[in-house]
Amino acid sequence: MIGRQRKEQMSQQINDFFLRFERANSSTDLTEFSRLYADTFLFGGPNGVQVVKKENFLKILPKMKDHFSSMGLSGTKLQDVEASPLDSKYMLAKVTWRIELRNPSCADHVIASATYILAPENGDAFSIILQIDHQDLATVVKELQFSQQ
């Protein structure tokens, strides 16, 4: 029973972590984003994997946000988190995001998924050491806009 309680507690901590991520994303709070990522992390997507330094990521984050906003993306909401321990230290989180679109000629949202590996940092806090986006969001939005014309 204690194992089950611990698993439920960890699942709640991971859910809370991604709710913090959602809030940081909605405001582009660079201080909060800084707390969410490890100093160096891996980022993977449809075009490959790269090592990213947090300081460089934080520099380009506002430009990325502006770019996605110019495409009509207006907000990101946490839809689902499925968390499980990989071992006694690392957690795997499969996350689904609902990304709202402003363009009325298009659908009203896009569903995006990502997988994260989190490591403990400073006690019970976590940081992202690996993020894999399972789609190229810009391509998905462009295809959706094209199909609606």
pTM to 2 decimal places: 0.88
pLDDT band for position 2 (cuts 50, 70, 90): very low
Calculate the average pLDDT of the chain: 87
Q: What are the structural domains, with CATH classification, of the chain?
A: 2-147 (3.10.450.50)
Q: Evaluate if residue 145 carries a pLDDT over 90.
A: no
Q: Evaluate if residue 49 carries a pLDDT over 70.
A: yes
Q: Evaluate if residue 48 carries a pLDDT over 60.
A: yes
Which residues lie below 8 Å from residue 146, measured CB to CB, with a gap of 6+? Answer: none
Which residues lie below 8 Å from residue 137, measured CB to CB, with a gap of 6+? Answer: 68, 73, 99, 110, 112
Q: Are strands 125-133 and 37-45 parallel, antiparallel or unpaired?
A: parallel
